[in-house]
């Protein structure tokens, strides 16, 4: 999980390096299109899956949700500090908790409600509306987290029905198709160096998802989740050292508040699973 955090922070750095010349939707499309080469080993599992019409619909619904999240994330990444993007990205698990209660029928106890409220307060600390200008990049990240949460909820349902290789392959295929019309609507010819950077983004992101899957298979979420919070540390250091973004204490405080709420929700869910299962065997699905 430590390596996963470093890989994903590397992704954000490379997107930052590419800048804003290439539109966000096109950058995201090129990243996913070039990343399809990494799916070649999964073709066999995808062909043998024999998905039903219902499963196809759910996978495409997830692809559309993830398409919106990815496009907004690329837009935000090129316009606001890396630490802001990373901290606000932690809102996605909070939205997942709300979505699970609204759409999957999961109970939302008072403690979890308070944790969600705390996370939203953390987001307000980062944004500080009225005390600083809230740019389009920050608004994009707020909505990106919502789209990613929808994607994760659908992934949770589909992971119970199909294998990880199928889930990852269908995500890459559907997001590539979903981003194509957005990219073609405002196409800017990329340079060789920009394509090289986006291919590196695809490589690092694919490696990050692989190492994250390894972490989830090796340990329960109560172990892996706290390590993932180190991404905020790497993001702050990266932005300060290589991009001259400085360290905004309010972003740090807001990020820690969000992280604290996620840690509480994670521990509560783990405790409930231990009570519900006999024997209690920690298991995480991705």
Phi, psi of 76 (to 5 degrees): -70, -40
Distance CA 94, CA 123 (A): 11
Tell me the pLDDT tens digit for each residue of 84-136: 888 888 888 788 888 877 776 777 778 878 888 888 898 889 888 767 777 89
pTM over 0.85: no
According to the model, what pLDDT value does residue 98 have?
83
User: How many CB atoms are closer than 10 A to CB 261?
Assistant: 25
| Alpha-carbon radius of gyration of the chain | 19
Angstrom distance (rounded) from CA 154 to CA 161: 11
pLDDT for residue 195 is more than 90:
yes
Q: Tell me the residue ranges of DSSP E strands in the chain.
A: none
pLDDT one-digit tens code per residue, 218-251: 776 666 767 777 888 888 888 888 888 878 888 8
Reduced to 3 states (helix: H, G, I; strand: E, B; else coil), residue 129 is strand
Comparison of pLDDT for 193 and 211, the residue scoring more: 193
Distances from the Cα of 50 to the Cαs of 70, 144, 203, 266, in angstroms? 28, 31, 28, 34
**Percentage of residues of the chain with pLDDT beyond 70:** 91
| Cβ within 8 Å of residue 175, ≥6 positions away | 28, 32, 63, 66, 67, 70
- Cα→Cα distances 99→29, 46, 104, 151, 171, Å: 27, 28, 7, 11, 20
CB atoms within 10 A of CB 271: 12
Q: What is the pLDDT of residue 281?
A: 37
Cα 30–chain centre separation: 18
| Alpha-carbon gap, residue 79 to 137, rounded angstroms | 6
Q: Is the dihedral of CA 260, 131, 16, 146 positive or negative?
A: positive
d(C-alpha 179, C-alpha 132), whole Å: 32
281: three-class secondary structure by DSSP: coil
Question: Tokens representing 215?
Answer: 């972490």
Residue 166 exposure: Cα atoms within 13 Å on the Cβ side? 22
Question: Which residues, 6 or more positions from 269, have their beta carbon under 8 angstroms from its beta carbon?
Answer: 221
| pLDDT single digits (tens) 126-165 | 888 767 777 899 999 999 999 998 888 888 778 778 877 7
Residue-level pLDDT at 227:
75
């Amino acid at each position: 999980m430590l390596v996963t955090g470093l890989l994903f922070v590397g992704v954000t750095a490379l997107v930052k390096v590419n800048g804003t010349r290439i539109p966000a939707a096109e950058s995201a499309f090129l990243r996913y299109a070039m990343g399809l080469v990494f799916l070649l080993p999964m073709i066999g599992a995808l062909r043998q899956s024999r998905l039903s019409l219902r499963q196809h619909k759910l996978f495409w619904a997830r692809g559309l949700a993830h398409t919106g999240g990815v496009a907004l994330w690329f837009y935000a990444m090129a316009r606001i500090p890396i630490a802001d993007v990373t901290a606000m990205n932690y809102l996605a698990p909070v939205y997942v908790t709300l979505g699970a209660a609204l759409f999957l029928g999961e109970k939302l106890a008072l403690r979890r409600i308070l944790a969600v409220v705390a996370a939203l307060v953390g987001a307000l600390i980062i944004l500080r509306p009225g005390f600083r200008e809230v740019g389009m990049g920050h608004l994009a990240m707020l909505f990106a987290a919502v789209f990613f949460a929808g994607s994760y909820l659908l992934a949770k349902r589909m992971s119970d029905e199909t294998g990880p290789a199928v889930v990852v392959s269908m995500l890459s295929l559907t997001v590539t198709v979903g981003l194509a019309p957005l990219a073609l609507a405002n196409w800017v010819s990329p340079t060789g160096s920009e394509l090289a950077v986006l291919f590196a983004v695809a490589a690092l992101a694919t490696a990050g998802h692989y190492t994250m899957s390894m972490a989830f298979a090796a340990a329960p979420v109560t172990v892996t989740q706290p390590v993932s919070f180190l991404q905020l540390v790497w993001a702050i250091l990266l932005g300060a050292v290589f991009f001259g973004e400085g360290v905004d204490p309010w972003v740090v405080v807001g990020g820690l508040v969000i992280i604290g709420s996620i840690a509480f929700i994670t521990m509560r869910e783990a405790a409930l699973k231990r009570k519900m299962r006999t024997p209690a065997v920690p298991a995480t699905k991705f």
